A and B are shown apart, each in its own frame.
Chain A
């Protein structure tokens, strides 16, 4: 029988006690290292998108073994939530294979993608969670919501409301999250797609804001919010409150484990194992309807680094082959608006995800840390994803193309200040909400280059 929420909470109160450092080192780091040995998992930084079913199946097996062996840790009670044999498998079997997001004519159906799937990936546009000043919030959302290729939208977080600083878990968080949703709904109406699905309540850093917008005027049941997992394989009751709140309301839960590549799981193979385990566990513990794949690089953050793209690719392939479910994969490039590198990073990342079995979300340009994101890179993300599917690109072709693109942008990881580019309002005309000519031209040039490099189906 599928676990109910009471079961998870009961186990969090009665499971074995363990101090957190022991969890990190003994349970996660040691077990993962042992499994990497046992399954002989290795990676070659020259192969970003492996075409190696044996490898991805072994990563899946190792991830399942990790989840079974350790369970998940409740930071709130310092106890381990353990799973009985068969429970995790059943949780995976029950993962939705399709999920309708949004409503009416704007509804779109997310589905469990396959490796080299020729169906188009869905395009979920926006810079998730990135702090935006209030005056840039609505224009930024409009900039990506207005793109016809976009299927669903997300947004940044509000830095201020009415000039007031926002503090987490303060009453103002409720105001900020409601304001965010007011802007989101307004944006959808303004672009003529009022029913488009959203991932929002990003301004809800604690659970307060999230609870305050579970209302059809704000987040509708056909929308989703995220339930973050703590690193690694940990939950806390305040984040679980988000999932619990949406059970009766019927809103979709997205699990968000941000596995650190180079963190407790060690190098890329161990991190992929931890990511697989995180998805498996959050199907039950977070009541996830779908998963957000967002590994991060321990020093560079960006998902466009070699090791992180490898993890994204292997994890998506592993689920596509062994336990199909809906995976939406985040693109967080190092570079920001009005830089060529942002476009190369976006393209490489979108290729890796699309060919491996993920849907696309982004871009959290400039590490998702600055309001230097625009609708234009979201458009390119979607166009590249569509082209990959349309031309039936193989894993090997994808890998070759990504390696060529890496040559064009990998230097940004050595820049001490990163490559943040410019703020939204310096890359877009604030009156017309169109990219300024230089930005538009860079995009045209990069697109032409991409076609030349082998993405023929790029329109």
Chain B
């Protein structure tokens, strides 16, 4: 019989290999063997995801590996998450800094490589990501964010001529009285921190690793604000 460490090691490896069937099996077997879901998440899945992210940044891994790891993680999460929730219901210590993100390249813009990398990295970091694709009208982004009760709306735009739609989105949220419900992060090669601030976004990031950090920070801020409120 495998011990806990071996189970965690195997789980980690399935993410690094981007094998979604194996990751589900590995998590199921670990749970069946009585391994606690919390280390499965933090010492198995997340460690694997972290390694994949680093390999991508260093040029050892390419986009397909990143996408496959994201898939494998998503599949494994669907097994471990319910168990985790049940076991640790109401336990503050387990309250994680991930949440639900709706992400899209805004209307009229079809650049999606950067957005896809950000989406894969967020998935690989444990966020529930709804990627709406490219050229997405802002009203559809908002509608989906409401539907899935997103914590964060992420907008990508690479054209100076599509960036104004990100401002429209924030203005529309305000007009609808819904600005408080979502954190909005924006990105793309021409998006600067000044631009993000000027349009009233909650932040921007120059690459996917920073985007994950930003998303985590926004989730914490949101939880703190809710705690305080």
A residues whose Cβ falls under 8 Å from a Cβ of B:
20-21, 24-25, 29-30, 33, 131, 157, 159, 165-169, 173, 205-206, 230-231, 236, 260, 262-267, 298-299, 301, 367, 369
A40 CB, min distance to chain B CBs, angstroms: 19
Cβ-defined contact, B63 with A263, below 8 A: yes
- Chain B, Cβ-Cβ closest to A416: B206
Cβ-defined contact, B161 with A25, below 8 A: no
**B108 located at the interface, meaning its Cβ lies under 8 Å from any Cβ of chain A in the complex:** yes
Cβ-defined contact, A168 with B63, below 8 A: no
Q: How many A-B residue pairs have CB under 8 A?
A: 71
A218 CB, min distance to chain B CBs, angstroms: 19
The 10 closest A-B pairs by CB, nearest first: A168-B108, A29-B64, A168-B161, A263-B63, A266-B62, A131-B160, A169-B108, A166-B161, A262-B62, A168-B162
Which residues does chain B contribute within 8 Å of A236, judged by CB atoms? 110
Give a binary string over B188-206; 1 marks a CB under 8 Å from any A CB, 0 the rest. 0110000000000000000
Which residues does chain B contribute within 8 Å of A20, judged by CB atoms? 133
Cβ-defined contact, A167 with B108, below 8 A: yes
**B50 located at the interface, meaning its Cβ lies under 8 Å from any Cβ of chain A in the complex:** no
Which residues does chain A contribute within 8 Å of B63, judged by CB atoms? 29, 260, 262-264, 266, 298
Cβ-defined contact, B160 with A159, below 8 A: yes
Which residues does chain B contribute within 8 Å of A264, judged by CB atoms? 62-64
The CA of A20 and the CA of B189, in the complex, are separated in Å by 24
Partner of B59, one of A25, A165, A167, A262: A262
Which residues does chain B contribute within 8 Å of A131, judged by CB atoms? 160, 190
- Chain B, Cβ-Cβ closest to A230: B110
Which residues does chain A contribute within 8 Å of B190, judged by CB atoms? 131, 369
Cβ-defined contact, A369 with B189, below 8 A: yes
The CA of A369 and the CA of B67, in the complex, are separated in Å by 27
A-B contact pairs, 16 of them (CB 8 A): A20-B133, A29-B63, A131-B160, A166-B160, A167-B108, A168-B161, A169-B108, A231-B112, A263-B62, A263-B113, A267-B62, A298-B63, A299-B59, A299-B207, A301-B189, A369-B189
**B22 located at the interface, meaning its Cβ lies under 8 Å from any Cβ of chain A in the complex:** no
> Chain A binding site: helix, strand, loop or mixed by DSSP?
loop
4 new A-B contacts at CB < 8 Å, known A206-B108, A264-B63 = A21-B67, A157-B160, A173-B161, A298-B62
Give a binary string over B152-171; 1 marks a CB under 8 Å from any A CB, 0 the rest. 00000001111011000000
- Chain A, Cβ-Cβ closest to B106: A168
**B109 located at the interface, meaning its Cβ lies under 8 Å from any Cβ of chain A in the complex:** yes
The CA of A24 and the CA of B112, in the complex, are separated in Å by 12
Which residues does chain A contribute within 8 Å of B165, judged by CB atoms? 167
Partner of A205, one of B68, B113, B161, B164: B161
The CA of A98 and the CA of B161, in the complex, are separated in Å by 35
Which residues does chain A contribute within 8 Å of B108, judged by CB atoms? 167-169, 205-206
- Chain B, Cβ-Cβ closest to A267: B62
A334 CB, min distance to chain B CBs, angstroms: 13
The CA of A260 and the CA of B67, in the complex, are separated in Å by 15
Give a binary string over B40-61; 1 marks a CB under 8 Å from any A CB, 0 the rest. 0000000000000000010100
Cβ-defined contact, A205 with B67, below 8 A: no
Cβ-defined contact, B164 with A165, below 8 A: yes
Which residues does chain A contribute within 8 Å of B62, judged by CB atoms? 262-267, 298
Give a binary string over B112-123; 1 marks a CB under 8 Å from any A CB, 0 the rest. 110001000000
The CA of A369 and the CA of B158, in the complex, are separated in Å by 9
Cβ-defined contact, B67 with A24, below 8 A: yes
Q: Which of A25, A167, A168, A169 is most buried by chain B, counting CB atoms within 10 A of its CB?
A: A168
- Chain A, Cβ-Cβ closest to B131: A21
User: Taking A24-B67, A264-B64 as contacts, is the C-beta distance between A367 and B160 under 8 angstroms?
Assistant: no
The CA of A181 and the CA of B44, in the complex, are separated in Å by 57
A372 CB, min distance to chain B CBs, angstroms: 13
Which residues does chain B contribute within 8 Å of A168, judged by CB atoms? 107-109, 159, 161-162
Cβ-defined contact, B159 with A231, below 8 A: no
The CA of A230 and the CA of B105, in the complex, are separated in Å by 14
Which residues does chain A contribute within 8 Å of B107, judged by CB atoms? 168-169
A424 CB, min distance to chain B CBs, angstroms: 16
The CA of A30 and the CA of B68, in the complex, are separated in Å by 11
- Chain B, Cβ-Cβ closest to A261: B62
Partner of A231, one of B68, B109, B113, B189: B113
The CA of A21 and the CA of B68, in the complex, are separated in Å by 11
B66 CB, min distance to chain A CBs, angstroms: 10
Which residues does chain B contribute within 8 Å of A298, judged by CB atoms? 62-63, 113, 117
Which residues does chain A contribute within 8 Å of B68, judged by CB atoms? 25
Cβ-defined contact, A33 with B159, below 8 A: no
A165 CB, min distance to chain B CBs, angstroms: 6
Which residues does chain B contribute within 8 Å of A267, judged by CB atoms? 62
- Chain B, Cβ-Cβ closest to A231: B113
- Chain A, Cβ-Cβ closest to B162: A168
A237 CB, min distance to chain B CBs, angstroms: 12
The CA of A30 and the CA of B62, in the complex, are separated in Å by 13
The CA of A159 and the CA of B107, in the complex, are separated in Å by 18
Q: Which of B62, B68, B162 is most buried by chain A, counting CB atoms within 10 A of its CB?
A: B62
Cβ-defined contact, A167 with B161, below 8 A: yes
- Chain B, Cβ-Cβ closest to A298: B63
Which residues does chain B contribute within 8 Å of A30, judged by CB atoms? 64
Q: Which residues of B128-162 are within 8 A (CB) of A?
A: 133, 159-162
The CA of A166 and the CA of B162, in the complex, are separated in Å by 8
User: Taking A20-B133, A369-B189 as contacts, is the C-beta distance between A25 and B64 under 8 angstroms?
Assistant: yes
The CA of A20 and the CA of B67, in the complex, are separated in Å by 13
The CA of A298 and the CA of B207, in the complex, are separated in Å by 11
The CA of A277 and the CA of B67, in the complex, are separated in Å by 22
- Chain B, Cβ-Cβ closest to A169: B108
The CA of A168 and the CA of B109, in the complex, are separated in Å by 8
- Chain B, Cβ-Cβ closest to A168: B108
The CA of A159 and the CA of B62, in the complex, are separated in Å by 33
Q: Which of B107, B108, B113, B160 is most buried by chain A, counting CB atoms within 10 A of its CB?
A: B160
User: Taking A262-B59, A299-B59 as contacts, is the C-beta distance between A33 and B161 under 8 angstroms?
Assistant: no
Which residues does chain B contribute within 8 Å of A263, judged by CB atoms? 62-63, 113
Which residues does chain A contribute within 8 Å of B117, judged by CB atoms? 298
Give a binary string over B170-196; 1 marks a CB under 8 Å from any A CB, 0 the rest. 000000000000000000011000000
